[in-house]
């Protein structure tokens, strides 16, 4: 293996959306850093079956305003 070309592989702490924590190895950050997840298998619709719209930065509102004249009824307001 070539020297000085591989990233540092160390332990970090991961905090899931429900507050549970675990330790894993990663190249992210520095040893001992904490990664806080916004979406994980316990909250992601692909695994939970519960779908909800997340309006980040008003994108959903902009979309609704832009296409309000098309007569499409929204189930989520």
| pLDDT at residue 1 greater than cutoff 80 | no
What per-residue confidence (pLDDT) applies to 63? 81
Q: Are 13 and 34 in contact (CB under 8 A)?
A: yes
In the prediction, which pLDDT does 31 show? Answer: 94
Q: Over the stretch 3-56, which tens digit does the pLDDT of each residue have?
A: 888 889 999 999 998 899 999 999 999 999 999 988 888 777 777 777 666 666
Please tell me whether the overall predicted TM-score, pTM, comes out greater than 0.85 for this model: no
pLDDT at 51: 66
* Distance, CA of 56 to CA of 35 (rounded, Å): 20
Predicted local distance difference test score (pLDDT) of residue 77:
52
Higher pLDDT, residue 73 or 63: 63
Concatenating the DSSP letter of every residue in 17-53 gives TTS-EEEEEESSSSTT-EEE-SS-TTT-HHHH-----
């Amino acid at each position: 293996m070539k020297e000085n070309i591989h990233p540092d592989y160390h332990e970090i702490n991961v905090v899931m959306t429900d507050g549970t924590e675990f330790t894993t190895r990663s190249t992210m950050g520095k040893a001992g850093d904490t990664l806080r997840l916004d979406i994980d298998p316990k909250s992601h619709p692909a695994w939970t079956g519960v779908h909800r719209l997340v309006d980040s930065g008003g994108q959903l509102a902009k979309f609704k305003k832009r296409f309000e004249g098309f007569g499409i009824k929204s189930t989520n307001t």
